[in-house]
Amino acid sequence: MLSPAIQELKRRSPSTKIYVVDSDRNMNYFFKAERNLNGYSILPDYSAFKNNFNYNDEIILTNFFGFILTTGCKQHWGNLALKLFNVDKRNLKPKIYLSQNDEKFGRSYAKLLKNKMVVLCNDTSEMHKRWDVKRWEEVIKKCKGYAFVQVGPRSGRPIRGALNMLGRTTLAQAFSLVKYSKLVVAVDGLFNHVAHAFGIPKVILWSNSSPRNFGYNDNTINISKKIYCSPCRYLAKSPTRKCIIQCYVNKKVPQCMLAIKQLEVINAIKKMLNEKHDPNIKYYKFRPADKETCLDCRHNKICNIDWFKIRFSLLFNWQLI
């Protein structure tokens, strides 16, 4: 979601040098493939900063980090990233670069499955985003004529009726399967954004986060239940904290996921595949972030991103770097 802002920043000012430091090693693939970056490193390696900044340099920071989580802002995360760099192009899409071998991998599977491939990503590392396995199996059983290919980590839950590719592809190969699929069906997470990058139709199931912040309307059906504690991601200090403890600590299936019924998912899949479906079932549509978004937000003026300066030496413990 940050890549469109990086693309536009580099286009607008080609001489700008962009370095990234991140804590997630899974991001290594994206950083390595991102042609607009001058360098990156993965924590605890701070070399991208250490090799390009001096001890007494002043660095400009913002209150952007965790902004949505702490304020409940209704703007899309990607648009906030564009706003951070004073970029006003909201139609930019993230780019994912694939090698020729990875492209061939996805094409070959699509051909093997007679161009009827539907990519399924039913699990993420966040337990509270999971939907019941038996419900997934019923969905697949009712969607005949299409080959469901399940992607994700080896630790994922296999779904009967789907081709199990859990842990059997590289990240890039999984992306290639998405690129050459007819449809992506997934819970909120990485593959929502991957499908968006490739322009692939998608059906997304939402739990603790909101499509308004992390989702898309175009070519998408978002299944999100507006129960009293959803989205709970910003509610750590709210009266609904008891619900959060139940979902996160006790690892119970959250009510927002239990509220999603098989028929809704089956209907959404058939609709996106242009199959016979029930037109009376309505799905969640959210208003894209624009200048009017903050007017119906209780935080109103707090949505301005503030800048402040700090010395590099204070930002990190230089001795540890």
pLDDT, one tens digit per residue, over 51-103 is 888 878 877 666 555 555 555 666 777 777 777 777 666 566 778 889 899 99
Domain ranges in the chain with CATH number 3.40.50.2000: 100-225+253-272
Query: What span, in angstroms and rounded, lies between the C-alpha atoms of 19 and 8?
Result: 15
294: its two tokens: 């903050």
Residues of the chain with pLDDT > 90, as a percent, come to 37
Higher pLDDT pick, 203 / 303: 203
Rounded average pLDDT over 283-298: 57
Position 138 scores a pLDDT of 96
Question: Topology of 100-225+253-272 in CATH?
Answer: Rossmann fold (3.40.50)
Angstrom distance (rounded) from CA 149 to CA 120:
6
Is residue 132 pLDDT above 80, yes or no? yes
pLDDT digits (tens, 9 = 90+) for 3-32: 887 888 888 889 988 888 888 887 888 888
pLDDT at 313: 74
Residue 68 has a pLDDT of 58
**Per 3-state DSSP, what percentage of the chain is helix, strand, and coil (rounded to 5)?**
40, 15, 50
Digit-coded pLDDT (tens) for 214-229: 888 889 999 998 776 6
Q: What does R_g of the chain's alpha carbons equal in angstroms?
A: 21
Cβ neighbours of residue 290 under 8 Å, at least 6 residues apart?
90
Beta-sheet pairing, 117-121 with 183-187: parallel
Tell me the Ramachandran region of residue 221: left when phi exceeds 0, alpha when psi lies from -120 to 50, beta otherwise: beta
How many whole angstroms from its chain centre is CA 24? 14
- 14 upstream amide cis, omega within 30 of 0: no
Closest by Cα among 278, 270, 271, 277 to 144: 270
Which of 60-74, 253-267, 305-319 ranks highest by mean pLDDT?
253-267
